[in-house]
Structure formats: structure tokens, C-alpha cells
A = this chain, B = another copy of it.
Amino acid sequence: MASVVKISRRKATARTPMREPRVRLEVEERRRQLIELGLQHFGERAYDDVSIDAIAEAAGISKGLLYHYFPTKRAYYAATVREGAARLVASTDTGEGADPLVSLDAGLDAYLTYVKAHAKAYATLMRSGVGVDPEIARIVDETRATFVERLIAGFAGSQSSGFLDAPVVRLALRGWVGFAEAASLGWVEAIAAGTPTPSQDEVRALLGGAMMEIVRSALRGLTREAARG
């Protein structure tokens, strides 16, 4: 944990030109620094537009060292996406609320606040990352699944909780996550563009309402199905 770093400076003379002295960090600290830099860079530019050299230079290290910590550029990128997703999940975890509806609203509000605060990075990570590598797609999908699980857990004990495992309902919930992503992206983009924009409360109400209606719609189809067959 010793975050104390000793640096031995040297004089720059005519014979031996000034070289940046090595800065030796502990493994975990270096790793954190690199992931932090990755979040910054990949949050602003597309994957292809971020070079390992640029990261290394920004970190003040050599390219080779980065490959000591991450086997490939994709693995490095995957690590940053994993971190970003973890932060998103953590920041929207409102714990076990007494009332699932209140809990849902709190979670959505935290989600929107997060998206608004990290608009560009959120957009870049969610949009740009997926195509680069199956591994990254898996991470994003698992993050979405986490949200779905959370939603289902919130509604366990509700009247028709038995139907919540039905394929249609799972599909509906997955779709709703897509709805939330698209709507929130549109929201922050509209804010950035300066066009007339609904308030965060309105958007939250929209997302919450949409979820109720989507699930209800799926359940309705389900019971209609059950009544027939």
C-alpha cells in the first residue's frame, strides 16, 4: 500500500542528456493508473483512435510496460470497460428498498444522474465498445443482465411473480433495458445539442412508466396465451 514514491533526479549535462527518471510503482497502483487513463481516453475517442503509444506516453511509461500488465490492447480495453460498467452498477445500487416502486424510482434517478454526469464516456463505452470484441460484448450483456436481475428481484413477491421467469417477460425486460439506454442517450444528446429537453423527473417517469407498461403488456400476452392453450 506504500504509495510513497522516491524519485532520483539527475542533472542534465551536455554529455549525458536529460532522461526522465524511471518511476517505479507498485503493481496495483500502476494498474489502477492505466485503467483510469483508459477510461479517459476510450471515453473520448473510438477504440481505433486510441493508440497504445498514446496511453503509454500519457502514463509516462514505455509501451512495453503496458503489455506487462495487459496481454493485448483488447484485454486492456476490456479491463477499462469492466471498470466503467462496475462503477455504473455500483452507483445505481440503491440497496433493498422497502417499496419496490420507490426503489425503482431511486435506481432510475441514480442511473440518469450518472448518465448525465458521464455523458460522453457513457455514450462512447456503450456504443463503441460492443463491436470490438466478443469479450466486451459479454461484459456489456452481463451488465444489462445485472440490471434485469435487480429489477426482477425488486418485483419478487409482487402479485404475478410466478410469471417473471417466462421467456416473454425476460425478453420484455431485456428490451426495456434497451429502451432505457436509447432514451437516456437521446436525452443527454438533446441536452448537449441544446434542443428542448424534458426534465430528469420527466425522463425518470417515462422510464418507470415504460417498464410497468412493457411488463404488463408481456404478462397480458402471457395470460391470454395461457387461457387459450
Could you tell me how many residues of chain A have their Cβ less than 8 Å away from some Cβ of chain B?
Answer: 50
Q: A132-B48, A216-B213, A217-B209 are in contact. Are A175 and B171 (CB under 8 A)?
A: no
* Segment from A18-26, A98-106, A110-118, A194-202 that makes contact with B: A194-202
* Segment from A58-66, A89-97, A182-190 that makes contact with B: A182-190
- Kindly state the separation between the CA atoms of A173 and B196 in the bound complex, as whole angstroms: 16
Q: A131-B47, A210-B172, A216-B213 are in contact. Are A202 and B221 (CB under 8 A)?
A: yes
A131–B124 touching, CB < 8 Å: yes
Copies, count:
2
Contact of A172 among B46, B124, B133, B183 (CB under 8 A): B183
Contact of A182 among B168, B177, B196 (CB under 8 A): B177
A214–B179 touching, CB < 8 Å: yes
Q: Specify which chain B residues have a CB less than 8 angstroms from the CB of A180 in the assembled complex.
A: 175, 178
Contact of A131 among B130, B179, B183, B196 (CB under 8 A): B130
Q: Is A225 an interface residue (CB 8 A)?
A: yes
Q: A187-B171, A209-B217, A213-B213 are in contact. Are A137 and B133 (CB under 8 A)?
A: no
Min Cβ gap A172→B in Å is 6
Q: Is A174 an interface residue (CB 8 A)?
A: yes
Interface residues of A in 138-176 (CB under 8 A from B): 167-168, 170-172, 174-176
- Kindly state the separation between the CA atoms of A205 and B228 in the bound complex, as whole angstroms: 16
Q: Is A37 an interface residue (CB 8 A)?
A: no
Q: Specify which chain B residues have a CB less than 8 angstroms from the CB of A127 in the assembled complex.
A: 130-131, 137
Residue of A131, A174, A181, A210 with highest tally of chain B CB at under 10 A = A131
Interface residues of A in 115-137 (CB under 8 A from B): 124, 127-133, 137
Contact of A225 among B130, B202, B203, B213 (CB under 8 A): B202
Q: Specify which chain B residues have a CB less than 8 angstroms from the CB of A213 in the assembled complex.
A: 210, 213-214, 216-217
A-B contact pairs, 10 of them (CB 8 A): A131-B132, A171-B190, A171-B203, A175-B183, A175-B206, A178-B180, A178-B181, A178-B182, A210-B214, A213-B214
A-B pairs, top 8 by smallest CB distance, nearest first, are A178-B182, A128-B131, A175-B183, A213-B213, A209-B217, A179-B179, A178-B178, A175-B179
